[in-house]
Structure 1
Amino acid sequence: MKFIDEAKIYVKAGDGGNGAATFRREKYIPMGGPNGGDGGRGGSIYVLADRNINTLVDYRYTRKFIGKRGENGGGADQYGAGGDDIILRMPVGTVISDLNTGEILADLDVHDKKILLAKGGKGGLGNIHFKSSTNRAPRQKTNGDQGEEFEVSLELRVLADVGLLGLPNAGKSTLIRAVSSARPKVADYPFTTLHPNLGVVRVGAEKSFVMADVPGLIEGAADGAGLGIRFLKHLQRTRILLHLVDIAPIDPDANPVRDAKAIVGELVKHDPALADKPRWLVLNKLDLIPEEDRQAAIDKFLKAYKKATKYDGPAFPIAAINGEGTKPLIYAIQEALEQMDRPEIPDDEDENTSTEE
């Protein structure tokens, strides 16, 4: 199935039915009085998060969703039937925004989360509501309200704890294959990854986290170059970013420090909030460096990179192709995520204080 993570649709809830202005007209009951019923409410449109759906492809082909109108009221105190509601099932992680105002209308971040997107119109009142001691034969009635309508954009942001960031061919897909059961396409040419991939990384019998691999960035991505910038939104929900760097590039003219710094620059240009997330360095392809030269290569890169970017976070040398160094990495990630989940314990300054009289 083609991966679709954006769509635009039109939703229109049903209008309310009109109230009726009728009177009882029965033999031997000359003063029957009003008996017009209310109109039914219009059908509303709801959105529901469904973890069994992985793409927005259905909303690329069906773009209009219009709720059913409520029935009009009738005589003999008959109330109109309400219109049926519409429930739109979408992938978990879908964000729904008003196309005209940009306002976020719904964020489906949890399975089975159900949100009213467009409310159906209220039914009109029949003339039985207007009867009074001074108005014995009311002919007033009201029409039903119109249902809400919106043009909305749908944007799927995958839910992952850890996001992989880096140049094409930095080894992101290889890493996610090495530490999880995900099997993204891996090849020895750039741009192998064309859409986000998710993998569950199991650290123990009852411990795991979700890792996301997105298409690689290139310099100039924030200005529209390459594929990766389109998918950076998938990293906005992540809690830790792993910046993969090819420490042993095949191209002799490549400069890993310059390239790594450029990726951070693109991240800042695209979304400063994303750039502020915890970001760890992962120095990949260690297997391509002779064992006796590895530490020197790592030290040389880190010294230059820290000088160029003021980076002071952790660095993990790995060889994703054979799994070398990946265990310390995933254990460190699990520990960091658990630390983020722990509630802060406020200092009880007065707990052990006593007052002398």
Structure 2
Amino acid sequence: MSSSNFIDYVKICCRSGHGGAGSAHLHRDKKNAKGGPDGGDGGRGGHIILKGNSQLWTLLHLQFQKHVIAKPGGSGGSSHSTGANGDDIILEVPIGTIARDAETGEMKAEITEHDQEIIITPGGRGGLGNAHFKSPTNQTPRHAQPGEPGLEEWTILELKLLADVGLVGFPNAGKSTLLSVVSAATPKIANYPFTTLVPNLGVVAYRDYKSFVMADIPGIIEGASEGKGLGIRFLKHIERNSILLFMISAESPDIAAEYEVLVNELRTFNPELLQKQRLLAVTKSDLLDEELEAEMRATLPKDLPAIFISSMTNKNIMQLKDMIWKALQEA
């Protein structure tokens, strides 16, 4: 998924349709010159609807669609005929999309399933025809309700990627390299920080034709929860992962300290993230001998499942998959 094609934030103006006006018609035919009221109701204005689509991975198709305008409802007619409802506008979005009010930040909808539909901007109700206002004291009302106006509001659509495993680590920790080794994903890989500027998803094949989805989240730095580096723009994607795989390079002078920095950034951004199951992979460990590896393992955080891996030599890659699969079953 190239950086130019991955869009996880759009702001659009949604205008639902006005309701149609009710009719104030009085029945007339060749046998009845002074019939009673038979005005029909106006039709409902068109809704703006979000619909989940599991085949979409980005909001790119909505990036330049700044205004979404639904059709108004039709006016009521004679013989109690109701006006046509305005055509709804359906916006297909990836699973994991959240709609928020642009002014208040209040969440309006959350798409979590394929084909799930949620109305985010309802159309105006149609007005009542004069037949509804007939009474013993007013048997020929000559008035009807106008249609209810539609709504016009700015809405923010945010995509939070759904994945089984989220890779969490500092820039250049080997996250993209791991994803390219265990899946068919082809993220950009280079030996400098912030190579990954957008999240990448990969489907990891496991034993007996099983699989799970892994997300490579752009690197976190100290202060990311306050907006430093790539800031909180990509921290939100971690919220949708079942388990978190922390990745720290064996070249780090203090693995435990780096792990605590990462945990603190997640805690500051959203304390609920710490309730997710966590695993630790020490990357770039192909040059470590058994003695040095044992020495480093003794310094790792207690009660945290850890494994030393190398994506270049495939060291412990299958064992890492086993660890992840076991954690997913527990989760």
TM-score relative to the length of structure 2: 0.92
State yes or no: 1:268 paired with 2:259: no
SS at match of 1:176: helix
1:22·1:75 contact (CA, 8 Å) conserved in 2?
yes
| Mapped pair 1:92 → 2:95 | yes
The one of 298, 323, 327 aligned to 2:314: 323
Counterparts of 1:314 and 1:76, CA distance in 2: 74
Pairs within 5 Å for 1:178-193: 178-193=181-196
What is residue 159 of structure 2 aligned with on the other side? 156
Q: Give the 3 Å change call, closer, same or farther, for CA 316–195 of structure 1 in structure 2.
A: same
Between stretches 57-66 and 144-153, larger displacement belongs to 144-153
Establish whether residue 101 from structure 1 lines up as the match of residue 92 from structure 2.
no
Contact between 2:199 and 2:218, CA under 8 Å: does it hold in 1? yes
* 1:240 paired residue number: 243
Q: Report the CA distance shift for 1:202/1:53 in structure 2 as closer, same or farther (over 3 A).
A: same
Structure 1 letter corresponding to 2:76? G
Work out which of the residue numbers 26, 32, 35 in structure 1 matches 2:35: 32
Within 5 Å, give how 1:324-339 maps onto structure 2.
324-339=315-330
Q: Is the CA contact 2:225–2:231 (under 8 Å) kept in the aligned structure 1?
A: no
- After TM superposition, the runs of 4+ consecutive aligned structure 1 residues lying more than 4 A away are none
Residue number among 295, 301, 312 corresponding to 2:290 in the alignment: 295
Q: In the superposition, relative to structure 1, how do residues 270 and 295 fare at CA in structure 2: closer, same or farther (>3 Å)?
A: farther
Cα shift at 1:28: 4.9
Partner of 2:225: 222
Cα distance in 2, alignment partners of residues 297 and 230 from structure 1: 37
Give the percent of matched residue pairs that are identical in Structure 1 and Structure 2. 46
Structure whose CA Rg is larger? 1
Q: Is 1:22 the equivalent of 2:28? A: no
Aligned residues: 328
* Contact kept in structure 2, 1:222 and 1:266, CA below 8 Å: yes
Whole-angstrom CA distance in 1 between matches of 2:104 and 2:207: 46
The one-letter code of the counterpart of 2:198 is: H
Residue identity opposite 1:129 in structure 2 = H
- Name whichever of 55-64 and 193-202 sits farther off: 55-64
Residue identity matched to 1:31: K
Partner amino acid, structure 2, of 1:134: T
Q: Secondary structure at the match of 1:304?
A: coil
Q: Structure 1: 5+ residue runs without aligned partners?
A: 341-357
Whole-angstrom CA distance in 2 between matches of 1:255 and 1:229: 25
State the partner residue of 1:82: 85
Asked if the contact 1:178/1:320 (under 8 Å) is kept, the reply is yes
1:50 has 2:57 as partner: no
Aligned 8 A contact 2:277 2:327 in 1: no
Provide the rounded CA distance (Å) in 2 between the counterparts of 1:139 and 1:94. Answer: 48
Cα distance between partner residues in 2 of 1:265 and 1:39: 57
Give the match for residue 352 of structure 1. Answer: none
Structure 2: which amino acid aligns with 1:296?
E
Residues 191 and 26 of structure 1: CA distance in aligned 2, closer, same or farther (over 3 Å): same
Does 2:64 match 1:65?
A: no
Secondary structure of the 2:109 match is: strand
The Cα RMSD (Å) is 1.9
Report the CA distance between 1:2 and its aligned residue.
Answer: 2.4
Shift of 1:27: 4.5
Aligned pairs for 1:103-252 within 5 A: 103-227=106-230, 229-248=232-251
Instruction: Decide whether the 8 Å contact of 2:11 with 2:154 is kept in 1.
Output: yes
**Deviation of 1:228 (Å):** 5.6
Equivalent residue of 1:286, what SS? Answer: coil
User: What is the one-letter code of the residue matched to 1:336?
Assistant: A
